[in-house]
Amino acid sequence: MKIYIINYDLRKQRDYDTLYKTIRSYQNYVHVLDSMWMIVSEDGALSIRDHLAKTMDIDDGLIVAQVTGEAAWMKLSDDAFHWLKQNLAIYSAEKRGAPPGSFYRNECLIV
């Protein structure tokens, strides 16, 4: 499984409900910031982008990027913090063959 960041900018017609429903169709997801989600998927970035783009207007912006390196964050919601801690720690440990990094309350660096 791969972890992806989804960032978007809905411009004129802002149909967040439809976009959110499509993002939630992935089994493992979290709404991290206002215009940012993270998902776990076997699909590639191009496939995810195309799937989400079907719910967006022609003038909306979208980026889907795989998380492959270190991550750090602060002052996120408890849901986002716990999702990141669980999913990035698992990904980091699997990728490096080592235990995940140290975690602090709602501040983290995984290397």
pLDDT for 104 beyond 80: no
Helix count and strand count (H, E) for the chain: 3, 7
Mean pLDDT taken over the chain:
84
- The span from the CA of 102 to the CA of 45, in Å, is 29
Q: Are residues 2 and 54 in the same domain?
A: yes
Q: Among residues 88, 94, 87, 77, which one has the least CA distance to residue 34?
A: 77
Q: Are residues 45 and 79 in the same domain?
A: no
pLDDT for 97 beyond 90: no
Q: Are residues 21 and 50 in the same domain?
A: yes
Q: Which residue has the tokens 């493992």?
A: 28
Domain encompassing residue 26:
1-67
The total domain count for the chain is: 2
pLDDT tens digits for 16-45? 999 999 999 999 999 999 999 999 999 999
pLDDT tens digits for 40-57? 999 999 999 999 999 999
Q: Which residue has the tokens 């919601």?
A: 77
